[in-house]
Structure 1
C-alpha cells in the first residue's frame, strides 16, 4: 500500500503500477473563453505524456463529480471555473474508465501549468492539435453541438 493523493492504494514498488478499483470515474473539463478558444494542457504524466489534452482527472472517493472537475482544472491550469453543463458520459467495453465531461467557463486565476502539466494554453477550435484519447473527437463534436 502507498499513500497516493491522500488515499491508500495498492501499489507495486518494482513497476510503480497503481491498482485503482474498477471502474474508475474520470472528469474532463471543456473550458471555453470569450473567443470560443478551448483550454488544453500538455500532459506531464502518463498516459499521453507530452501530448495536448483537456484538463481531466480521477474523481476521489466521496467527491462530487462537479467538484472533481473544478479541482482537477485548478490543479492542472491554476484557473477557477464554473461548471456550465454536462456534455456527455463516455466509456468503452473492456476499459475500466468512465468519462464524465462538462463544459465550463473561467471565473478566475492566472493560466499556469501545475505539476501534471508541462504547458497550458488556449486553442482555436480549428487549430486544435491531435488529441490522444479515444473519445476526444466525439467530445468536441458533442460540445460543438450543445454549445
Structure 2
C-alpha cells in the first residue's frame, strides 16, 4: 500500500471513541515520542482512502472495535524539521462494539482499554488527550461546512467548540 506519509505532506487521523458508559478508548503506544503513553487510536490515511474511512479502519486494526463517525472535533497541524507538513484530523466516534479483540501487545501497541475521561488526567497521556479532557464538554462536532463557532487555538491544535 502507498501511504501519504512517504511524501512531505502527511495526513493522519485520530479519534475519541466513546462507549455506552461514556468511557474513552485509549491505547498505550510502543514507539515514537508517545512510547509508554496513552493516546487515542490513530494512523495515516492511505492513498485513495477517505479520512472517515481511515479512522474507522485504524480503530478496527488497532483494537478490534467497530465504530461510527459522529463528527470532526478538530485539526492538529505542525511542521517536522522545517520539512514535513504533519496534519491530523481528530474525529468523534461512537463504538458499535466494545470488546477489544486485537491481539495485544504487538509492535505498535502495548495495550488498549476503556477509561473514564476524568481518570485520564491521572495517567501518562499524550498532550492532546489532556486538552480534550479539559475542553470536551463544550465541543460541538463539525458535521458540515458551516462554522461551528469560536475556534480555540492552543499551540498547534485548532479545536472547535
Q: Deviations over 1:12-53 (max 9, x none)?
A: xxxxxxx72122011011011122111101113324222211
- Residue 24 of structure 2 is aligned with which of 38, 54, 59? 38
* Partner SS state of residue 34, structure 2: coil
For 1:143, the equivalent position in structure 2 comes to 136
**Aligned pairs (5 A) from 1:1-147:** 6-7=1-2, 20-93=6-79, 94=82, 96-108=85-97, 110-114=99-103, 115=106, 116-128=108-120, 129-133=123-127, 135-146=128-139
Q: Which moved more, 1:77-86 or 1:39-48?
A: 39-48
What is the CA RMSD across the aligned residues, in angstroms? 2.4
Greater fraction strand: 1
Richer in helix (by share): 2
Asked if the contact 2:19–2:98 (Cα under 8 Å) also holds between the matched residues in 1, the reply is: no
**2:65/2:98 contact within 8 Å kept:** yes
* C-alpha distance in 2 between matches for 1:122 and 1:8: 29
* Aligned residues between the structures: 132
Q: 2:102 & 2:86 partners in 1: Cα distance?
A: 25
Could you list the runs of 5+ residues in structure 2 that have no partner in the other structure?
A: 141-161
Normalising by structure 1, report the TM-score: 0.77
Distance 1:143 1:8 in 2: 31
Contact 1:88 1:142 in 2 (8 A): no
- CA distance, structure 2, for counterparts of residue 136 and residue 69 of structure 1: 17
Q: SS state of the match for residue 75, structure 2?
A: strand
> Residue 60 of structure 1 aligns to a residue in which SS?
coil
Distance 1:88 1:48 in 2: 20
